[in-house]
Structure 1
Amino acid sequence: MTESLDGARMACWRAYIESSQRLLTQLEEELRAVSELSFADYHVLVRLSEAPGQRLRMGELAGRLIFSPSRLTYQISSMERRGLVARQACPQDRRGSEAVLTAAGLLALREAAPHHLASVRRHLMDDLDDGEVACLTRVFERLGERLNAVGTTAPASPTPSATEPSNS
């Protein structure tokens, strides 16, 4: 049986899960209110806008977004129908394909970005001091590196709930 979390760690876990879900929900709602973009749409557009030539191989984009290949295919297909991205054969390797930012996608990103940034500031960043920002950055970079190294090859350990570890 897995050892339970102590009170402080359980409180930390619950505070993280609940506040992160509320934050992502709020950011998505506000993004959709000022644009026709979902949070996933916005994230794809940002990643493509930052890439050389505003294009990335589908596999590389999936890795950067932390999407499964099938989830990315679905996401790109949806965005392609709306003219935000295009899918093109890789110039170096015709077997692969790339997601390419379109002019309409770049315009949508540029129009949504100021509102989204204001939302991120209002709901998260403006409430943190420099020390808290530095601490959270260290914690989440370390966690991200560790999880990235583990990948999807680690066996899942059974827990009573995916969001709430056992306290017994």
Structure 2
Amino acid sequence: MDDTPTTTRPPRWLNDHEMRAWLGYRRMRALLDLQLARRLAADQGLSEPDYDVLTSLSDAEDHRIRLSELADRMLWSKSRLSHHVTRMQQRGLVTRQECASDGRGAFIVLTNHGMATLHAAAPDHVAAVREHFIDLLTEDQLRILGDLTDTVLAHLREQPA
């Protein structure tokens, strides 16, 4: 074993301005997610992942999407999503269809009940997003936020999986 000391760069600690922005973002995200999740659960009996699955399916062609693609979109493992989809199936929100071209793959399909549930949930959810986020910001703040998220997301997409 080599006993030569390694040289490392000292950490670039966050200054007060950076710390305020970072901690503010973290707290805002946690509290906003909590508030929106509470409203979805109270108003429609849905979790945020339920809503994410339903909206992804409603936007997909023929209201169906491959399980693996949906897992990638949600940043979940296929196993975790499969278990979640099973619970949604039991509630009649989605169903599975085998993929004819790939015996190992499956499509997740939005049911009529799932679409009706989404249509019932969407107005309240959008109202909550407006109440607790969008309507609190000016047009300039929203534009800047959009620019910021584009910058960070572009960087994160370049990172190894």
Q: TM-score, normalised by structure 2?
A: 0.89
Q: Deviations over 1:9-38 (max 9, x none)?
A: 111110000011000000000111110100
Q: Distance in 2 between matches of 1:8 and 1:151?
A: 29
Report 1:1-168 matches (<5 A): 1-152=10-161
- State the number of aligned residues: 152
* Partner SS, residue 34 of structure 2: helix
Question: Equivalent residue for 1:155?
Answer: none
Q: How much has 1:95 moved relative to structure 2?
A: 2.5
Aligned to 2:7: none
Q: Secondary structure at the match of 1:71?
A: helix
Moved more, 113-122 or 58-67: 58-67
Aligned-partner Cα distance in 1 for 2:117–2:54: 9
CA-CA distance at 1:134 after TM superposition: 1.0
1:103 maps to amino acid:
N
d(CA) in 2 for partners of 1:144, 1:114: 27
2:107 counterpart SS class: strand
Q: Residues 55 and 151 of structure 1: is their aligned pair in 2 closer, same or farther, counting only changes over 3 Å?
A: farther
1:133 aligned partner, one-letter code: L
Higher gyration radius (CA) = 2
Q: CA RMSD in A?
A: 1.2
Give the counterpart letter for 1:46 in structure 2: T
Q: Please tell me the residue identity of whatever aligns with 2:12.
A: E
User: How far apart, CA to CA, are the structure 1 residues paired with 2:83 and 2:70?
Assistant: 13
Quick one: distance in 2 between partners of 1:75 and 1:133?
33
Identity %: 37
Q: Which runs of 5+ in 1 are unaligned?
A: 153-168
CA distance in 2, matches of 1:123, 1:48: 25
